[in-house]
Amino acid sequence: MAVEVDYYELLEVDRGADDAAIKSSYRKLAMRWHPDKNPGDAEAEARFKAISEAYECLKDPQKRAAYDRFGHAAFQNGGMGGGAGGPGGGFSDLGDIFETIFGSAFGGGGRQQARRGADLRYDLEVSLEEAFHGKQAQIEIEVAAACEPCDGSGAEPGTGTRRCNLCGGHGQVRAQQGFFMVERTCPTCHGRGEVIEKPCRKCGGEGRVDQPQTLDVTIPPGVDTGTRIRLGGKGEAGPFGAPPGDLYIFVHVRRHAVFERDGTTLLTRVPITFTTAALGGEIELPGIDGERHTVPIPAGIQSGKQLRRRGAGMPVLQGRGRGDLVMEITVETPTKLTARQKELLRELQETETGDECPGSKGFFDKLKEAWNDLTD
């Protein structure tokens, strides 16, 4: 089972991005994740390899066109783009290309091989906790599977096939068109060269029937929205016993009530009282890993300041290590005060000199200078 991440998402560009935008984004990301700048960081090394692979594909117009049509399947099983048989088929030589585009009028001929079954897609939603820990999921799909009574052959058990009388077993028939002799796929046997003597009663001679299937899917730790998991041979069965296609599981991670995600980094906003912000202290935060993280708050912290807990974020997909947990501080102003609290705040206000808050003091000093310049 392979886990594949969309190349456009890896390079942080839209699918319609031009070559210049792709190249620019790649350079920035390569500079950021280069192993020389992140020594000993397994996540950075894995990310660098992934974005390099994505760029090598998208910078090539032919490879990019194949990827846009078939995704990662375009480069599997030795194919680069997939032929008439679907993703992963590929062309073995120039003759295959002509035969696919123009039929057999330019030569070729012979029996056609049965097409492999179609690839299927299944969208699976998981929680952020499930994306962190990974899970074993069961999915149910309705799929064309090989007919059991005829074992996918399309022939009634105990019977077989015979040579097609129309094409003589060649799979092609010839017709005169003006000065040219043109070969076409035989309409009787559809290019197979054989016809079924007695079609299977269950599948009607097609060799496959629609039926529900329950499949077990392993969701590895660290998946994100856009992660694609391929289950080889779990797609639609091919006609007349041809190989089945693949099933692609597209993962979608639900929005979390507390944490936002950026790759392997988790971000959360933490409100603290203005007294804690002024005097310092600590907060205890439950992490996505189920552990409780105690975070010290330095005295004088301001809203917008970010505190980082390294190694408390999401795991690296198919790698080692974890990202960080980032807490963005928001200083909350009290809205309900007792009479005693108001009295204490007034006493504090009377002792203020302006040096306690250098930011506001500097702002009003600049404002005063600007006003004097306008009135001079």
- The domain that holds 270 is classified in CATH as 2.60.260.20
pLDDT at 286 > cutoff 70 = yes
What pLDDT shows up at residue 135?
A: 93
Give pLDDT tens digits for 301-356: 999 999 999 999 999 998 889 999 999 999 998 888 999 999 998 998 888 877 76
pLDDT band at residue 95 under the 50/70/90 scheme: very low
Region 138-152: mean pLDDT is: 89
Whether 260 and 330 share a structural domain: yes
Whether 318 and 373 share a structural domain: no
Q: At what angle do helices 42-58 and 19-33 cross, to 10 degrees?
A: 160
pLDDT at 88 > cutoff 50 = no
From CA 240, how far away is CA 154, in angstroms rounded?
A: 6
Give pLDDT tens digits for 243-267: 889 999 999 999 999 999 999 999 9
Report whether 202 contacts 209 (CB < 8 A): yes
Q: Which long-range contacts (CB under 8 A, 24 or more apart) does 26-30 make?
A: 26/51, 26/54, 26/55, 30/55
∠ CA 74-78-82, rounded to 5°: 35
* Within a domain: 54: no
Nearest Cα to Cα of residue 22 among 35, 31, 9: 9
Give pLDDT tens digits for 168-199: 888 888 876 666 678 888 888 878 888 888 88
* Within a domain: 9: no
What pLDDT shows up at residue 117?
A: 85
Whether 349 and 329 share a structural domain: no
140: which residues sit within 8 A by CB, 6+ positions away?
Answer: 212, 213, 214, 215
From CA 202, how far away is CA 208, in angstroms rounded?
A: 9
From CA 121, how far away is CA 228, in angstroms rounded?
A: 10
What pLDDT shows up at residue 178?
A: 64
pTM across the whole model: 0.58
Whether 365 and 298 share a structural domain: no
* Within a domain: 186: no
Q: Which residues are annotated as a binding site for Zn(2+)?
A: 147, 150, 164, 167, 186, 189, 200, 203
Whether 264 and 320 share a structural domain: yes
Phi then psi dihedrals of residue 19, to 5 deg: -60, -40
DSSP state of 251: E
pLDDT band at residue 362 under the 50/70/90 scheme: low
Whether 297 and 327 share a structural domain: yes
pLDDT averaged over every residue in the chain: 82
From CA 191, how far away is CA 187, in angstroms rounded?
A: 8
Nearest Cα to Cα of residue 359 among 307, 303, 306: 303
Ranges of H-type helices in the chain: 7-10, 19-33, 42-58, 61-70, 94-102, 128-133, 274-279, 339-351, 358-375
Phi then psi dihedrals of residue 357, to 5 deg: -125, 85
Report whether 184 contacts 177 (CB < 8 A): no
Tokens of 49: 């390899």
What pLDDT shows up at residue 40?
A: 82
From CA 144, how far away is CA 98, in angstroms rounded?
A: 31
* Within a domain: 179: no
* Within a domain: 288: yes
Give pLDDT tens digits for 226-240: 999 999 999 988 877
pLDDT at 104 > cutoff 50 = no
Whether 305 and 366 share a structural domain: no
Give pLDDT tens digits for 22-32: 988 988 898 88
pLDDT at 94 > cutoff 90 = no
Whether 324 and 360 share a structural domain: no
Whether 324 and 369 share a structural domain: no
What pLDDT shows up at residue 374?
A: 66
pLDDT band at residue 122 under the 50/70/90 scheme: very high
* Within a domain: 68: no
Domain count, the chain: 2
* Within a domain: 218: no
Percent of the chain with pLDDT over 90: 34
Phi-psi region of 223 (alpha: psi -120 to 50; beta: other; left: phi over 0): beta
Q: Which residues are annotated as a binding site?
A: 147, 150, 164, 167, 186, 189, 200, 203
Residue 373 sits in which domain range?
Answer: 344-376
Whether 266 and 306 share a structural domain: yes
* Within a domain: 133: no
What pLDDT shows up at residue 97?
A: 34
Give pLDDT tens digits for 73-87: 777 654 544 433 333
